[in-house]
Structure 1
Amino acid sequence: MKSLTFIILVAFSVLLVSCQKSSDWEELFNGKDLTGWTQLNGKAKYEVINGEIVGTTVANTPNSFLRTEKTYGDFIFEVELLVDNEMNSGIQFRSLSSEDFQNGRVHGYQCEVDPSERAWSGGIYDEARRGWLYPLEQNPEGRKAFKRGEWNHYRIEAIGNSLRTWVNGVPCADLIDDMTAEGFIALQVHGIGDSSEAGSQIKWRNIRIKTENLEQSSWTDIPVVNLIPNYLSPQEKAQGWTMLFDGKTTEGWRGVGKEEFPSKGWKVSDGELIVEPADGAESGNGGDIVTMDEYSTFELKLDFKITDGANSGIKYYITEKYGSDMSAIGLEYQILDDELHPDAKMGTAGNRTVASLYDLIPAHKNKIVNKPGRWNQARLIVEGTRHEEWLRGNNIESNDFVGAHVEHWLNNRKVLEYERGTQAFYALVARSKYAVWEDFGSWQSGHILLQDHGNEVHFRSIKIRKLD
Structure 2
Amino acid sequence: MNTSSYGKSRRLNGLFAVVLASAVSASCTTSATSDGWQSLFNGETLEGWRSVGGEAPYAVEDGAIVGTMTAGTPNSFLITEQEYGDFILELEVKLEGETTNSGVQTRSHINENGNGRVYGRQVEIDPTPRAWTGGIYDEARRGWLYPLDLNEEAKTAYKKDAYNHIRIEAIGNETKTWINDIPVAHVVDTIDATGFIGLQVHSINDSSLAGKKVYFKNIRIQTENLQPKDFPSGIYTVNLTPNSLTAYEEQSGYKLLFDGTSNTGWVGAYKDTFPVKGWDIKDGSITVLPADGGESTNGGDIVTTEQFSAFDLSFEFKLTEGANSGVKYFVTLSEKNTGSAIGLEYQVLDDERHPDAKMGKDGNRTLASLYDLIKANKSSRSTRNIGEWNKGRIVVAPDNTVTHYLNGEKVVQYVRGSDEYKRLVSESKYKNWENFGQADKGHILLQDHGDRVSFRSIKIKSL
Tell me the residue number matched to 1:352: 365
Tell me the residue number matched to 2:262: 249
**TM-fit CA distance, 1:363:** 1.3
The CA distance in 1 between the partners of 2:418 and 2:204, in whole Å, is 48
Aligned residues: 431
Tell me the residue number matched to 1:3: none
Letter in 1 for 2:430: Y
Tell me whether 144-153 or 196-205 shows the greater mean CA deviation: 196-205
Identity across aligned pairs (percent)? 54
The reply to whether residue 451 of structure 1 matches residue 463 of structure 2 is: no
**TM-fit CA distance, 1:195:** 4.0
The CA distance in 1 between the partners of 2:340 and 2:251, in whole Å, is 35
Tell me the residue number matched to 2:175: 163
The reply to whether residue 203 of structure 1 matches residue 215 of structure 2 is: yes
SS of the residue 1:142 aligns to: helix
User: 1:68-147 counterparts in 2 under 5 A?
Assistant: 68-86=80-98, 87-100=100-113, 102-147=114-159
**TM-fit CA distance, 1:169:** 0.2
The CA distance in 2 between the partners of 1:19 and 1:245, in whole Å, is 51
SS of the residue 1:146 aligns to: coil
The reply to whether residue 53 of structure 1 matches residue 65 of structure 2 is: yes
The CA distance in 1 between the partners of 2:237 and 2:458, in whole Å, is 14
Tell me the residue number matched to 2:430: 434
The CA distance in 1 between the partners of 2:63 and 2:370, in whole Å, is 55
Is the contact made by 1:257 and 1:326 (CA closer than 8 Å) also made in structure 2? no
Q: Deviations over 1:213-272 (max 9, x none)?
A: 112222322211112211112221121110000100110101112111111110101000
Q: Which 4+ stretches in 1 moved above 3 angstroms? A: 18-23, 323-327
The CA distance in 2 between the partners of 1:135 and 1:62, in whole Å, is 23
Q: Deviations over 1:403-451 (max 9, x none)?
A: x211111111111111122222222222222122222112101111111
SS of the residue 1:317 aligns to: strand
The CA distance in 2 between the partners of 1:26 and 1:151, in whole Å, is 20
Unaligned runs of 5+ in 2: 1-29
**TM-fit CA distance, 1:366:** 3.3
**TM-fit CA distance, 1:19:** 5.8
The partner residue of 2:384 within 360, 363, 370 is: 370
User: 1:142-153 counterparts in 2 under 5 A?
Assistant: 142-153=154-165
Is the contact made by 2:183 and 2:231 (CA closer than 8 Å) also made in structure 1? no
Tell me the residue number matched to 1:8: none
Q: Deviations over 1:376-417 (max 9, x none)?
A: 1110011122xxxxxxxxxxxxxxxxxx21111111111111
Is the contact made by 1:219 and 1:235 (CA closer than 8 Å) also made in structure 2? no
Q: Deviations over 1:81-132 (max 9, x none)?
A: 22213442111110111421x3321111111111122211111111111111
Tell me the residue number matched to 2:252: 239
The CA distance in 2 between the partners of 1:36 and 1:76, in whole Å, is 18
User: 1:223-234 counterparts in 2 under 5 A?
Assistant: 223-234=236-247
**TM-fit CA distance, 1:203:** 1.4
**TM-fit CA distance, 1:326:** 6.7
Is the contact made by 2:369 and 2:375 (CA closer than 8 Å) also made in structure 1? yes
Tell me the residue number matched to 2:280: 267
**TM-fit CA distance, 1:325:** 6.9
Tell me the residue number matched to 1:463: 459
Tell me the residue number matched to 2:408: 412
**TM-fit CA distance, 1:279:** 1.1
Tell me the residue number matched to 1:36: 48
The partner residue of 2:349 within 310, 322, 336 is: 336
Tell me the residue number matched to 1:64: 76
The CA distance in 1 between the partners of 2:424 and 2:458, in whole Å, is 29
SS of the residue 2:123 aligns to: strand
Letter in 1 for 2:133: S
SS of the residue 1:415 aligns to: strand
**TM-fit CA distance, 1:28:** 0.6
The CA distance in 1 between the partners of 2:185 and 2:313, in whole Å, is 19
Is the contact made by 1:257 and 1:325 (CA closer than 8 Å) also made in structure 2? no
Letter in 2 for 1:169: D
Q: CA RMSD in A?
A: 1.7
The CA distance in 2 between the partners of 1:61 and 1:371, in whole Å, is 28
The partner residue of 1:384 within 391, 398, 401 is: 398
The reply to whether residue 190 of structure 1 matches residue 202 of structure 2 is: yes
Higher-Rg member (1/2): 2
**TM-fit CA distance, 1:196:** 3.5
